[in-house]
Amino acid sequence: MTDVRVEQVDLDLGTPMMYRDFGAYVRLAHDPQQMDEASALALLCTRMPQLVGNLEVRRVP
């Protein structure tokens, strides 16, 4: 199981989400004005298919 730490942040227009793989966990930031959390997670899974069925979401304030 891989922890995905989800944050809501203001990103530049045209950059709706960013992520970084730290091995033990993945840090995902998305701009809620450009993309909702579900869409950001779906896009992340297309970039990192090993997460499909193997992730646990943790929301970071």
Strand extents, DSSP E, the chain: 2-8, 17-21, 25-30, 55-59
Query: Which domain covers residue 42, as residue numbers?
Result: 2-59
- pLDDT tens string 1-60: 999 999 999 999 999 999 999 999 999 999 999 999 999 999 999 999 999 999 999 999
* 30: exposed, middle or buried (Cβ count in 10 Å: 0-12, 13-18, 19+): buried
Indicate the number of domains in the chain. Answer: 1
Q: What is the pTM of this model?
A: 0.92
What is the rounded distance in angstroms from the CA atom of residue 35 to the CA atom of residue 33?
6
pLDDT band at 61 (very low <50, low <70, confident <90, very high): confident
d(CA 50, CA 8): 23
